[in-house]
Amino acid sequence: MIYADQAATSFPKPPEVVEAVCEVLRRVPGSPGRSGHRGALAASRVVFEAREELAQFFSLEDESRFVFTSGATEGLNLVIQGVLRPGDVALASAVEHNSVARPLEALCRQGRIRVHYVPCNREGFLDLRALKEMVKTFSPRLICLSHVSNVLGTIQPLEEIVPLKGEALILIDAAQSVGHIDIDLSQLAIDFLAFSGHKGLFSPGGIGALYLRPGVEEILRPLKFGGTGSRSESLEQPDFLPDRFESGTPNLPGIAGLAAGARVVRQIGLKNISSHERLLAETFIELIKKNPKICIYGPKDRTKATGIISVNIEGLPPSEVARRLDREFGVMVRPGLHCAPLAHKTLDTLPQGTVRFSFNYFNRLSEVERAAQALLEIAS
């Protein structure tokens, strides 16, 4: 079997991650921040060390800037629902995932905010001139942007985009970039960065984190309220980080897995990861481009993309291509809209979408060659 659906969730998980998850389940008998016995203290240590690992991963000193969430979706919702006020305008790119588009549209439909989409070209890159104009025209409160498109692999140039935000807050959806390319939060004026663990950080599903720039927590309403193990005498939600945004018993095995995965990525090195993924994508494209019936989407310059490649075969629906890849060749990919109808509108691939291959550091060159061969056979 060849697993080429890494953008959905990564597989296999490194042994270090499996071990860290099992270790917590086997040996940590408590809930962090509660009870005070040695098991609870051990649990608190797991959470604290995971936060420290994240700070190191993103070149920050202050680990308290990270709030654990159930994934990118929760982090994005927390910011979108927690920052926007009645009458506000939000901007988002024309390739956003539904995890950004749906919470924005829900607020729009309730008549609370307006949203405008900043155009992207067919390679998925944001139109920077349009962004500048729209910031001037609409004075948005929030700009939402996926760092890497989950359909095309396109990497948005954050160092050019972030300075254009004006007075707006900027929320980066890093679901497809964390663990694939370097993000130095000490160098970029990003207000919020949301990500999941189960993609580029090799953790189990159901765990992620949200980074908050110092000060922004004061304008962010919590999405959920409840027990935190702190200030239990008060019926009011704590006002300090991370407790303000972390009500409820946390996903301790997930947190341990997330930290172990981040450590694995740091040990391999993001340079090695991105260059391997680029080699895989370039090899795949080089092999399939000889067949004119195969349409390849995304950046021509693959230094500006990750290991995600969307394609279509003329005359064949994506679902049929994916089914044949799986049944006849053991190649697992994702067909359709990839929860990103806006991106497919930009690409003009509605309603059927594309066939998405996504490779990561653990895919071998020989797998990519076999996947390309399978696609060529289906197209022939």
Ligand X SMILES: Cc1ncc(COP(=O)(O)O)c(C=O)c1O
State the residues that interact with ligand X by CB under 6 A: 71-73, 97, 99, 146, 150, 173, 175-176, 196
Give whichever of 57 and 195 is closer to ligand X, judged by the CB atom.
195
Residue 278 CB, shortest distance to ligand X, in Å, is 19
Give whichever of 98 and 283 is closer to ligand X, judged by the CB atom.
98
Sign of CA dihedral 190, 192, 198, 203: positive
Contact status, residue 179 vs residue 273, Cβ threshold 8 Å: yes
Sign of CA dihedral 310, 299, 176, 348: negative
Residue 212's nearest CA partner among 362, 75, 59, 39 is 75
Residue 293 CB, shortest distance to ligand X, in Å, is 28
Give whichever of 65 and 356 is closer to ligand X, judged by the CB atom.
356
Give whichever of 10 and 44 is closer to ligand X, judged by the CB atom.
10
| 5/88 Cα distance (integer angstroms) | 37
Give whichever of 28 and 207 is closer to ligand X, judged by the CB atom.
207
Residue 129 CB, shortest distance to ligand X, in Å, is 24
| 33/41 Cα distance (integer angstroms) | 7
Residue 363's nearest CA partner among 16, 13, 2 is 2
271 SS3 class: helix
Give whichever of 5 and 88 is closer to ligand X, judged by the CB atom.
5
Give whichever of 244 and 356 is closer to ligand X, judged by the CB atom.
356
196 SS3 class: strand
Contacts of 201 (CB under 8 A, 6+ apart): 178, 179, 195, 258, 261, 262, 265
Residue 86 CB, shortest distance to ligand X, in Å, is 26
CB atoms near residue 69 (< 10 Å): 26
Q: Which secondary structure element, helix H or strand E, spans residue 2, and what is its range?
A: strand 2-3
Round the CA-based radius of gyration of the chain to a whole number and report it: 21
Residue 9 CB, shortest distance to ligand X, in Å, is 8
Contact status, residue 96 vs residue 72, Cβ threshold 8 Å: no
Give whichever of 146 and 346 is closer to ligand X, judged by the CB atom.
146
Residue 27 CB, shortest distance to ligand X, in Å, is 27
Across 242-259, b (16+ Cβ under 10 Å) vs e yields bbbbbbeebbbbbbbbbb
Give whichever of 72 and 280 is closer to ligand X, judged by the CB atom.
72
Give whichever of 72 and 168 is closer to ligand X, judged by the CB atom.
72
Residue 299 CB, shortest distance to ligand X, in Å, is 16
DSSP state of 33: T
- Residue, CB closest to ligand X: 71
Residue 175 CB, shortest distance to ligand X, in Å, is 3
Residue 100's nearest CA partner among 87, 85, 84 is 84
Helix residue spans in the chain (DSSP H):
15-27, 38-57, 72-83, 98-109, 128-138, 158-161, 252-268, 270-288, 318-329, 341-347, 365-379
